Amino acid sequence: MLEMTRIRAERNEIIEGLKKRNIDVTETIDAVLEKDQQWRAAKTSMESIASELNKIAKEIGDLFRQGKAAEAEAAKTKTSELKREETSLKAQVDELEQAITDLLYQIPNVPNELVKAGKNEEDNETVEEVGTRKPLHEGAAPHWELTKKYNLIDFELGVKVTGAGFPIYRGKGAKLQRALIQFFLDEAEKAGYEEFIVPHVVNEASAYGTGQLPDKEGQMYYIPEDDLYMIPTAEVPLTNIYRDVILPDENFSIKLTGYTPCFRREAGSYGAHVRGLNRLHQFDKVEIVRIEHPNNTDKALTEMIDHVKGLLAKLGLHYRVLRLCGGDTGFASAMTYDFEVYSAAQEKWLEVSSCSRFDTFQANRLKLRFKTADKKNQLVHTLNGSALALPRIMAALMENHQTPEGIEIPACLHKYTGFEIIN
């Protein structure tokens, strides 16, 4: 959520910056500023009345001590009138605060200066490509055929048990999935991230805190009986660990990681582009989260990007890094880098990770701050990234590492799988 102080100071810059997302927020911003002006006026009046009430309270005591009962009673009558006015103003202030908050929730984050204007994924910038497209042997197959051939994942059984988008992993497929999770967690630990095991459902406050609500309400699974949401990513519970926290000083760099299943309702389209593991309602992911001093955000984002690069290199996958344009950048993000691996069997790029910086956008919702040297509270910066999302990594490994003899397992996974090839 954008800071009110920033909106007051940078109205024109915010409006212009959000045009990179192909939206015009002029009307919303001006509505916010108008209500903010009303709120400040009402709050000033309320504080003035409170001051007047304190003054009169002292006067009443003095009047009674002086034996001026009639004047004291008149002052008490005035006090009652002022209290009624104060109550009315308090209701007005609260109503305006809620109205301002509701409007602020509608405004996405302002894209970073490096983010280019654009409408959709076709306008994203390729900033790096690593590796080359690996030629496959004759008869090479896409992963949904390989999973059936080697009995690794059963999509039909998942439909029977739950529905489309909920695959069942079995045998060496289950072991490879578990090996990847453990490998990603171990690599995150080596990079200084503390591992957490977090709930797979969160409350409404947590969903608002990281920006899933109200923007993605229809994309999350909701449990109405308990007013809880199933997590779309571990980012939500991990970041909310620090909701309503004031860090004691400026010397912090907090690194969190966790594995969770993720649940997303948006996977509902049909066709070859969503076959197999390409898009699911439930999938596994290892997430990394950073809570940083604003001066360290650039460095932290670079470190996260390098971390993901290292994982993909060890897995022997050909990948590219994209900086998303304004129209493709998520609601809460100031800047996002996507990682895509090339699937030789499908002859297409598959997204496997996003690394994003949110600057103060999430922290303002979370009320996550730190103490400056002069003892003032200042909002932190938050970042998060997938390191990595499992489904398309599994797909790419199976497709790109298949041979006539079977699917070769990258060396970094051997100690986790206990096997070097699937055949």
191, part of any domain: yes
Once rounded to an integer, what is the mean pLDDT over residues 240-254?
97
Q: Are residues 397 and 318 in the same domain?
A: yes
Strand order in the sheet with 222-223: 201-203, 228-230, 222-223
Q: How does residue 69 score in pLDDT terms, banded at 50, 70 and 90? A: confident
Final residue of a structural domain among 104, 139, 172: 104
pLDDT at residue 56 greater than cutoff 90: no
Q: Are residues 88 and 181 in the same domain?
A: no
Q: How does residue 266 score in pLDDT terms, banded at 50, 70 and 90? A: confident
Q: How does residue 142 score in pLDDT terms, banded at 50, 70 and 90? A: very high
Rounded Cα distance between 93 and 129, Å, is 53
Rounded Cα distance between 163 and 328, Å, is 29
- Burial code (b: 16+ CB inside 10 Å, e: under 16) for 196-217 equals bebeebbeeebbbbbbbbebbe
268, part of any domain: yes
Q: Are residues 37 and 146 in the same domain?
A: no
pLDDT, tens digit (0-9, with 9 covering 90-100), for 333-387: 999 999 999 998 999 999 999 999 999 999 999 999 999 999 999 999 999 999 9
Q: How does residue 36 score in pLDDT terms, banded at 50, 70 and 90? A: very high
Q: What total of structural domains would you count in the chain?
A: 2
113, part of any domain: no
Q: Are residues 98 and 162 in the same domain?
A: no
Q: Are residues 249 and 350 in the same domain?
A: yes
Query: What pLDDT, on the 0 to 100 scale, is given for residue 273?
Result: 57
Q: Are residues 227 and 330 in the same domain?
A: yes
Tell me the percentage of the chain whose pLDDT exceeds 90: 86
Rounded Cα distance between 229 and 198, Å, is 14
CATH number of the domain that residue 175 is part of? 3.30.930.10
Q: How does residue 112 score in pLDDT terms, banded at 50, 70 and 90? A: very high
Q: Are residues 265 and 393 in the same domain?
A: yes
Final residue of a structural domain among 42, 75, 104: 104
Query: What pLDDT, on the 0 to 100 scale, is given for residue 184?
Result: 98
163, part of any domain: yes
112, part of any domain: no
pLDDT at residue 75 greater than cutoff 80: no
Q: Are residues 181 and 252 in the same domain?
A: yes
Secondary structure of the chain as H, E, C letters: CCCHHHHHHCHHHHHHHHHHHCCCCHHHHHHHHHHHHHHHHHHHHHHHHHHHHHHHHHHHHHHHHCCCHHHHHHHHHHHHHHHHHHHHHHHHHHHHHHHHHHHHCCCCCCCCCCCCCCCCHHHCEEEEEECCCCCCCCCCCCHHHHHHHCCCEEHHHHHHHCCCCCCEECHHHHHHHHHHHHHHHHHHHHCCCEECCCCCEEEHHHHHHHCCCCCCHHHCCEECCCCEEECCCCHHHHHHCCCCCEECCCCCEEEEEEEEEEECCCCCCCCHHHCCCCCCCEEEEEEEEEEECHHHHHHHHHHHHHHHHHHHHHCCCCEEEEECCHHHCCCCCCEEEEEEEEECCCCEEEEEEEEEEEECHHHHHHCCEEECCCCCEEECEEEEEEEEEHHHHHHHHHHHCEECCEEECCHHHHHHHCCCEEC
Query: What pLDDT, on the 0 to 100 scale, is given for residue 291?
Result: 98
The boundaries of the domain holding residue 100 are 4-104
Mean pLDDT, all residues of the chain: 94
Asked if residues 3 and 360 have their Cβ atoms less than 8 Å apart, the reply is yes
Rounded Cα distance between 335 and 320, Å, is 17
Final residue of a structural domain among 72, 104, 136: 104
Q: Are residues 316 and 366 in the same domain?
A: yes
Q: Are residues 51 and 126 in the same domain?
A: no
pLDDT at residue 76 greater than cutoff 80: no
288, part of any domain: yes
pLDDT at residue 310 greater than cutoff 90: yes
Pick the closest to residue 386 from 325, 313, 311, 316 (CA basis): 311
Query: What pLDDT, on the 0 to 100 scale, is given for residue 114?
Result: 98
pLDDT at residue 167 greater than cutoff 60: yes
pLDDT at residue 267 greater than cutoff 80: no
Strand-strand pairing, 194-195 and 168-169? unpaired
298, part of any domain: yes
- Burial code (b: 16+ CB inside 10 Å, e: under 16) for 245-262 equals eebeeeeeebbbbbbbeb
pLDDT, tens digit (0-9, with 9 covering 90-100), for 179-229: 999 999 999 999 999 999 999 999 999 999 999 999 888 899 999 999 999
pLDDT at residue 271 greater than cutoff 70: no
116, part of any domain: no
pLDDT, tens digit (0-9, with 9 covering 90-100), for 322-333: 999 999 999 999
pLDDT at residue 78 greater than cutoff 90: no
CATH number of the domain that residue 56 is part of? 1.10.287.40
Q: Are residues 142 and 191 in the same domain?
A: yes
393 Cβ contact list (under 8 Å, min separation 6): 180, 315, 317, 341, 352
Q: Are residues 95 and 170 in the same domain?
A: no
